Structure 1
Amino acid sequence: MTAETKRILVVDDEETLCDVMAFNLEAEGYVVEKAYSAEEALAYDLSEFDLILLDIMMGEISGLQLVRIMRSNPATASVPVIFCTAKDAEDDMIRGLDTGADDYITKPYSLQTVLARIRSVLRRASSSSRDNTSSSSTPMLTVQFMGLQLSRRTHVCMVDGEEVRMPRKEFEILFRLLSDRNRVFSRAELLSEVWPGETVVADRAVDVNVTRIRQKIGRYGRHIITRSGYGYGFMDDPV
């Protein structure tokens, strides 16, 4: 698809930066709207955008909180989000990605870097959409182990009949482990599948997400085993 068909919302409380970014994106052919706060962003129908470019440090509602709101709403759960922020510590990056962002860019950044990341995220979103609507190559939509069940159709994780809220990255990691049980995946494999093309992601992001997954899935957490120096797997009979 061409840039002209893509709608992007730029959200940043630094109005000058927001205006400049919007101007440059429009020059690339995107249809762009602006919001100077998360509150202003929520006044839009966010489901109509193809991508949200978002700052983290804003007013009463932060960028992280806005993403949580989006991911909890089925209408906006799959809208791609890229954080553009001055928070450049590794823990900040992991927190942002763990919240459900699709990419994380630290300020100061070049326009060309932002444009490249936007194109990459939009390509992945478009590819995912095609996969989900293709009748000839429909990916696995549901995986289950005893009372643990994940559905890609509804993006819901059920643990013994109770729904467990799970950010996108956690969901995708667990879905991948469950879809090929009794196999150990390296961190590099999980990074390439769950964060494809995202050069800013550290191995630590996988470890943090797996730790949280184990805590959330209760008695099934022990089935996620660690192979020191390699990675993780979901085992039917963990040792």
Structure 2
Amino acid sequence: MATTKILVVDDEEDLCEILKFNLETDGYEVDTAFSAEEALKKDLTSYNLLLLDVMMGEISGFKMANILKKNEATTHIPIIFLTAKDTENDLLTGFNLGADDYISKPFSIREVLARVKAVVRRTEKKPVGKENELLQYETLALDVKRIKATVGNEEIPLTKKEFEILKLLLENKGSVFSRDEILSRIWKEEVYVLDRTIDVNITRLRKKIGPYGKNIVTRLGFGYCFEN
């Protein structure tokens, strides 16, 4: 199995070295950068995860994340923000930029290691092939090839958008998707689509999948996710 490669970007050099030591002890391959400018000179496509400080120099962590998410080659790289800022607005900014997690300073190394492990497990690439043609959680199943949803032996009549939303959530169990993210992934270039459209589709979807409706969880202020 290939080693997970992590880049730690923080202008506190001592903290970078502490994180590097502990992450490497946990089995990861780790590089460090002491500014966003330095990090952006690296081949970022080679990393499986970025630990990114928010409060840095001219290019902040938020600004760097925005750059990465707009680049097709790096948009998929998971990001965990490390920051002393922990207001609701800062959290929203981070998650709206596509962050996978947000750790407030001061933090314990054990917390960082646990969160890194969770994000790596959640975002690791799935094998391509027939295994991806069927998405399943207990007796809830999505046959992606046949465009068919079932609960037990009963077929569930989902609209195209409901099917695509459920597919997105099941493929990324535990990941929170904001309304904007869902709109951009499911509705793509369609215009005049309101945030309320997402809520309506989620409400209908919850009713249709019966006992599994409770697994589609609302994270107030952040978005939706499918939880075990």
* TM-score in terms of structure 1 length: 0.62
How has the CA–CA distance of structure 1 residues 15 and 113 changed in structure 2, closer, same or farther, with 3 Å as cutoff? same
- Residue 36 of structure 2 corresponds to which residue in structure 1? 38
Q: Which of 70, 88, 91 is the equivalent residue of 2:89?
A: 91
- Residue 220 of structure 1 corresponds to which residue in structure 2? 193
* 3-state SS of 2:117 partner: helix
What's the CA shift string for 1:186-205, capped at 9, x where partnerless? Answer: xxxx9x7698547xx7xxx8
2:167 is aligned with 1:180 = no
Distance 1:49 1:222 in 2: 33
- Residue 110 of structure 1 corresponds to which residue in structure 2? 108
Shift of 1:135: 3.2
Distance 2:63 2:160 in 1: 28
Q: Give the gaps of 5 or more residues in structure 1.
A: 141-175, 235-239
* 3-state SS of 2:193 partner: helix
* TM-score in terms of structure 2 length: 0.65
Distance 1:28 1:52 in 2: 16
How has the CA–CA distance of structure 1 residues 208 and 221 changed in structure 2, closer, same or farther, with 3 Å as cutoff? closer
What's the CA shift string for 1:77-123, capped at 9, x where partnerless? Answer: 11111111111112211110110111111111111111111111111
What's the CA shift string for 1:33-71, capped at 9, x where partnerless? Answer: 100000000011000011100101111111111111111
Q: C-alpha root-mean-square deviation of aligned residues, in Å?
A: 3.5
How has the CA–CA distance of structure 1 residues 12 and 224 changed in structure 2, closer, same or farther, with 3 Å as cutoff? same
* 3-state SS of 1:54 partner: strand
Letter in 1 for 2:23: L
- Residue 152 of structure 1 corresponds to which residue in structure 2? none
Shift of 1:136: 3.8
2:106 is aligned with 1:123 = no
Percent of residue pairs bearing the same amino acid type: 41
* 3-state SS of 1:24 partner: helix
| Residue pair 2:80, 2:100 contacting (<8 A) in 1 also | yes
* 3-state SS of 2:130 partner: coil
Distance 1:177 1:12 in 2: 43
Q: Give the gaps of 5 or more residues in structure 2.
A: 136-158, 206-228
- Residue 12 of structure 1 corresponds to which residue in structure 2? 10
Residues paired across the two proteins, number: 179
What's the CA shift string for 1:113-149, capped at 9, x where partnerless? Answer: 11111111111112xx215x12342379xxxxxxxxx
* 3-state SS of 1:13 partner: coil
Superposed structure 1 runs of 4+ greater than 6 Å apart: 207-214
| Residue pair 1:225, 1:233 contacting (<8 A) in 2 also | no
Letter in 1 for 2:194: G
Letter in 2 for 1:138: E
How has the CA–CA distance of structure 1 residues 48 and 54 changed in structure 2, closer, same or farther, with 3 Å as cutoff? same
Distance 2:48 2:195 in 1: 38
Letter in 1 for 2:193: Y
